[in-house]
Amino acid sequence: MEPEHLPRFSLPLLLFAITLAGCMPGTPLPRSAEGSPLTGSWSLVQIQSMDDVTYEPSDSEAFTLKFDPGGRVSARIDCNRGQGEWKSESPNELRIESMATTRAMCAPDSLHDRFLSDLAHVRSYLFRDGHLYLSTMADGSILEFRPSVQSPSFDCAAATGDVQATICRDIELARLDHKLDAVYHHALATSSPSESSTLKAMQRGWIKGRDDCWKADDVRRCVRDEYETRITDLQISSAIVSVPRPFVFACTDDEQLDAYFYNDTARPALVLRNDSSRWLLFLARSASGARYLGQNVQFWNKGKDAVFSRYGENDLHCHVIKRPGTGDVQ
C-alpha cells in the first residue's frame, strides 16, 4: 500500500533531502545528545523500501523508539523489548548501536525481523511535517515515525491518586489506556442498549479495580496487567478478533471441554466451554507447558494432556480428542 501523505516517487526525493541536509553547513548536534530534536518517543508509521514496497504495522504502537538525552535508546519491537545506544555526532547523522533485545517468538507475519535489521543499518535522519524519517545504509529503506502518544485518554491535569499519576508519567501505560479506550468504545458502538448499560457498569468497576493497584507491591505491573486483561476481555467478547477453531478435550467425570486459544489479543488467552459454563483465562508464567489462570480456575496444558482445576471441586484430567482441522486424535 502506498502512503497517502507521500507521492509515489517520494522515496528518492526524500533520500536526496536527507543527503542534502547532511551536507549543509550548520551547528552539529552535541555528542551528549543534549538538546537533540530526536529525544522523545516515536511510533513506526511505515517502512518503505527502494523497490517501492511499503510495510505498515497493524499497530504502530507495537514498534517504537525512545531516544533519551543521555544517548540511550529503548525500543519496542512487537513482542520484544530492546535497549541500546544512539549517536548523532554531525547534522542529520544517526547510528543505533549495541541493541540487546528479549527473544520472544512474535507472530510469523510480524515486521519484527525487518524492523530490527533496519535499525542496525540506520545512518541518517530527517524531520518532515512533524514526522521523523530514518534512512538505512546504502539507502535500502526509509523508516517513517510519528510522535508517540504521550498522555492517556483522560485529562492528566485532573488525575487523582497514585495510579492515575503513574499512567500519566508512563508512555507504555498511556498507550494501553488509549488502546482500551478505542476497544471499549468499539464495544459500546456494536452493543444493544441493555448491553451498553452493562458494559458501562463493568467499565466503572474496572476503573475502580485499576486504581486499587496502589496497594500492590509492583504498582506498574499491576496496572499493566489490569489493562491487558481488560483489553483482551473486550477484544474477545466484542468479536474484535477472530474466533479460533477449538481444540476438544475429553476429561474425567465424562466432561468435555472446547478450548479456544487466542494468540492475537493484548494478552494470550483461553476461552473454555462445556455444556453449561464459559471461562476466560489468561496465559501465566510456567516452568513447563502452558498454564492459564482465570477467576478461581486454572488450565495447565502439556502436549495432548491437561489438568483443569476449579475452586472447591476435584481436578479434571483431560486429553485432546480433536484438533482444529485435523479431525479426531487417537
As given in the structure block, the three cell numbers for residue 80 are: 520484544
| Mean pLDDT to the nearest integer, 310-323 | 95
Measured distance CA(183)–CA(193) in Å, rounded: 17
Among 114, 147, 180, the domain-final residue is: 147
**CATH code assigned at 254:** 2.40.128.200
Number of domains in the chain: 3
Instruction: Tell me: do 222 and 289 sit in the same domain.
Output: no
C-beta of residue 262 within 8 angstroms of C-beta of residue 269: yes
pLDDT tens by residue, 132-142: 999 998 778 99
Q: How confident is the model at residue 1 (pLDDT cuts 50, 70, 90)?
A: very low
Q: Is the pLDDT of residue 277 over 70?
A: yes
275 and 221 belong to one structural domain? no
Q: Does residue 291 sit within a domain?
A: yes
The letter for the amino acid at 245 is R
Average pLDDT, the chain: 87
**Residue 136, domain CATH:** 2.40.128.270
| Residue 293, pLDDT score | 97
What pLDDT, on a 0 to 100 scale, did the predictor assign at position 29? 34
Last residue of a domain, one of 86, 115, 147: 147
One domain for residues 70 and 133: yes
Task: Report if residue 5 sits inside a domain.
Answer: no
- Is 33 part of any domain? yes
242, part of any domain: no
Confidence at 17, pLDDT banded by 50, 70, 90 = low
What is the structure's pLDDT at 310?
95
pLDDT at 16 over 70: no
Q: What does the pLDDT read at residue 12?
A: 53
Q: Quick check: 97 pLDDT over 50?
A: yes
Look up the domain containing 84 and give its range. 10-147
pLDDT at position 59 is 84
In this structure, are 198 and 260 located in the same domain? no
Q: What φ, ψ does residue 199 adopt, rounded to 5°?
A: -60, -45
CA angle 242, 243, 245 (to 5 degrees): 125
Could you tell me the pLDDT band of residue 314, with boundaries at 50, 70 and 90?
very high
Domain assignment present for 315: yes
Q: Output the pLDDT for position 329.
A: 60
Answer yes or no: is 4 within a domain. Answer: no
- Please give the pLDDT value at position 330: 52
Task: Work out the pLDDT band at 235, boundaries 50, 70, 90.
Answer: very high
| Bridging pattern class, strands 63-67 and 54-55 | unpaired
In a domain, 1, yes or no: no
Q: Are 167 and 103 found together in one domain?
A: no
Mean pLDDT along residues 234-261: 94
Average pLDDT for 158-175? 91
In a domain, 199, yes or no: yes
Q: Of 147, 182, 214, which residue constitutes the final position of a domain?
A: 147
Largest Cα–Cα separation, the chain: 80
pLDDT for 40 equals: 78
Q: Which residues contact 276 (CB under 8 A, 6 or more apart)?
A: none
Do 46 and 130 fall into the same domain?
yes
The answer on 305 and 265 residing in a single domain is yes
pLDDT at 10: 54
Q: Are residues 64 and 122 in the same domain?
A: yes
Instruction: Please check whether residues 14 and 143 belong to one and the same domain.
Output: yes
DSSP annotation string for 121-136? TEEEEEEETTEEEEEE
94, 74: one domain: yes
